[in-house]
Structure 1
């Protein structure tokens, strides 16, 4: 329908109504009406105005009903509203509109929002008391996701605000399933996190807490206790070297980052969480003094993934030696370049020589870090990022590999390339993702020596531009004539071009 059939009739009706009203009022005014008669006319006009207003609202509703948004299902509207929450990692003054405007887009959306308890289960503190009651009521019995960040603009009454956060948190403890604390002592008018939690929470049990994230900027050396027997995930970042007393015997994921803890202190932390399945440690304090107390072994029998990033090589080697993990645990390591401190990098990585069957090497430019991935016969993957490694050195320490995948735009100089290939006498699969020019240098290296390099090579991966070329056919004929025929040639590409500079 391009035009409503009633539009013309409505226009005629409105014109007639205006003319009728004008005539009647002019006649009334000409006869010098009494006050009672004038009030009756005014009352009638008000009633007509209200009816017309209701009609306008009705027309607007019908107009909205024709829009695309009005045809969205309740389920889709609910999903949209989930993404309309403000970023609660930022600070909310008590007067901030923490209810997203989209919740009141129209009567229908407002009704959907009010009837969706999970939309009200995310509570930033501090929050106005009336708003807090509103959120709590509308969330019904849903577990709560609470975010704490004190005001970053100290003012009169700020200490009262910190007390308000503490007392509110205490009241919400039985319902909290996720808790995120972003606390800067300067923002919190000098009130450290530890004493504040101890004062208001003490050892009160967070019975349903499953995920805890703490970001704490402070030089104060206060510890505190969080009793969360059902906690599963813990992210901890702190500028000082104090780790809180977290009571969580069944913790399965731990992330420690940007902390002043030394690696022996981190090992002491790990002892409290024997059920860990994933452990990530990055950006810790460097340069542990060996004169400190002895470091004892830590057993993590359920660990599936271990990540240690930005460690000195000495600390890395010592930490690895003191963590007892299953042979199937995947390991990701990032070593700071030039940080050997008496530890030889080649000896450090050679501990995985016997169990490794496959390796992938990413190298984006000369002088940059190698990213190596070893895959063991048991399925374990070991990722090591370091600048203290060359291809020939790597080959010398891993001569028994069966599968080698190289991703690099520049191969080593010819002599070092031949040296590296000479170590890999057992490989059956070799793939090299590089430029066509560099790949031709690889072919020359494989043809250079009197003894056939990589004699058991059967599957050869090459760049797309080299497949089927006369140069490739010449190389394949060479291998066939040498009694080391290649059975399959396939095209390969870099797995992650954006990361490795392709």
Structure 2
């Protein structure tokens, strides 16, 4: 006997019937030119198809929610367990290897987990020999991710077994992550000994990613001097620069992290890896003494796509860039701070990096100033500057910046305190090719920009076509006066972009002075 339709089925049937009737009436009510059919029908058809797919997906999700666990196929259970496995922390917790709890939901799930080698391809060391052999065997012949950490929780037996365990699986290691943070008071072997003695003479034939963290003080030997890893392409290293492995000249990705880095050390490091494509250098505690002059030859990194350095003094950064030869398309992200003795190094750095810019953004945030630039002939450059004190004085020399970037066409000022009227006028006069100005600031500062564009007898920014003040409050009366001024001078603006509700009396009275008025939602 067929079951009666449910309440939900009746409601959905009624909704579908009503929708079908109204949709047919709406479509038939349209006038159609058969020689030039309206694109609205194609849009409507696409919308209906998307709605149908969305409803079908919801029905499938509801069906899955109602499916008992014991009816799930083995493949789906293995996939669920894999999601849990990939969400595990890399290291153990308080010395105890983390086990995903779904493994023990029932006998069947446990059996599937045991017989899924991919769920056992991550090994955290040191661990007991028994646990190591268990995971090794269950992972079959798959490549492995190995994490060495939490040494302070390891037993003497586990530590003594560490080198032996690694030697056994070296050919299968695809990723090796060693976090060698040990208590100096405890008699643990050094990372140097592990790499140079326990693992010496073995080839890491499958190793592609190496992550080493060794906060031991400087003065030790270079790590991994006799480690052979022909497929290695990525290395992350945290530790003194004189200990970073330097035998992997074929590296394409490098991340180096330490504190109070010397310019000479950075240059010596980059010299060892000529094939780098992406490089990140992080100085957690930049020296306040700028380093302007070093005796070092130019370094060619002709495959570089991205370089990030954070944070060096402006003078050190400027000197670093002058020693590097990189492709024009390479993207640069540079974090800088003001040196102990204030000098002109920031201006020298900006002049070096911004000379070919066509778009410039000056953004003040979190006690920092960020200069973002794009160019038609080189990759994007970001310079983040941390002065001793963030105020309008920090960008008061805008005319000097303008003299470095005379080809500018788009200027974006996202700064709470803009420069003085005199500096704005002088800079905007130099930037005669600007077509778009974006301002996100205080109302009075924005009005100062408008005044600067009206200030001289000659037309300032004669090619200006767009004012974008999204996120900035302004007076509609003041804006109207500015637009009338531009129209009277024969350099009428084409477009105004503003936030909805951010003008004192709306934008309706400005439409006749522009080609387009774009009002967007509040930021």
TM-score (norm 2): 0.73
1:408 aligns with 2:415: yes
Distance 2:433 2:293 in 1: 45
Alignment partner of 1:147: what SS?
strand
Q: CA deviation at 1:374?
A: 1.1
TM-score (norm 1): 0.76
Distance 2:94 2:145 in 1: 15
Structure 1 pair 453–76 and aligned structure 2 pair: CA distance change class (3 A)? farther
Tell which deviates more after alignment, 394-403 or 320-329: 394-403
2:29 equivalent in structure 1: none
2:220 equivalent in structure 1: 221
Tell which deviates more after alignment, 290-299 or 439-448: 290-299
2:348 equivalent in structure 1: 347
Q: CA deviation at 1:436?
A: 4.0
Alignment partner of 1:417: what SS?
helix
Alignment partner of 2:220: what SS?
coil
Distance 2:423 2:252 in 1: 45
1:102-122 alpha-carbon deviations (Å, 9 max, x no partner):
211123432332233221111
Distance 2:484 2:77 in 1: 62
2:174/2:209 contact within 8 Å kept:
yes
1:137 equivalent in structure 2: 137
Tell which deviates more after alignment, 474-483 or 449-458: 449-458
2:253 equivalent in structure 1: 253
1:176-211 alpha-carbon deviations (Å, 9 max, x no partner):
000100002426634321023212011422111111
1:355-394 mapped onto 2 (5 Å cutoff): 355-364=356-365, 368-387=367-386, 389-390=394-395, 392=398, 393-394=400-401
Unmatched 5+ residue regions in structure 2? Answer: 1-64, 388-393, 501-522
Task: Note the aligned Cα RMSD (angstroms).
Answer: 3.1
2:149 equivalent in structure 1: 149
Q: CA deviation at 1:241?
A: 3.9
Q: CA deviation at 1:99?
A: 2.9
Tell which deviates more after alignment, 299-308 or 355-364: 355-364
1:460/1:489 contact within 8 Å kept:
yes
Q: CA deviation at 1:413?
A: 3.3
Distance 1:115 1:242 in 2: 45
Q: CA deviation at 1:272?
A: 2.2
Q: Paired residue for 1:186, among 159, 183, 186?
A: 183
1:361-419 alpha-carbon deviations (Å, 9 max, x no partner):
11138xx3210111111251010011455151422432331111121233233333333
Structure 1 pair 472–308 and aligned structure 2 pair: CA distance change class (3 A)? same
1:417 aligns with 2:424: yes
Structure 1 pair 90–408 and aligned structure 2 pair: CA distance change class (3 A)? farther
Distance 1:347 1:180 in 2: 40
1:89 aligns with 2:91: yes
Q: CA deviation at 1:359?
A: 0.8
Q: CA deviation at 1:90?
A: 4.4
1:180/1:212 contact within 8 Å kept:
yes
2:318 equivalent in structure 1: 317
Structure ID, larger Rg: 1
Distance 1:179 1:109 in 2: 29
1:444 aligns with 2:445: no
1:490 aligns with 2:487: no
Q: CA deviation at 1:481?
A: 0.6
2:466 equivalent in structure 1: 459
1:72-111 mapped onto 2 (5 Å cutoff): 74-75=75-76, 78-79=79-80, 81-84=82-85, 86-90=88-92, 93=95, 96-111=96-111
Q: CA deviation at 1:92?
A: 5.7
How many residue pairs get aligned? The number is 423
Unmatched 5+ residue regions in structure 1? Answer: 1-64, 494-501
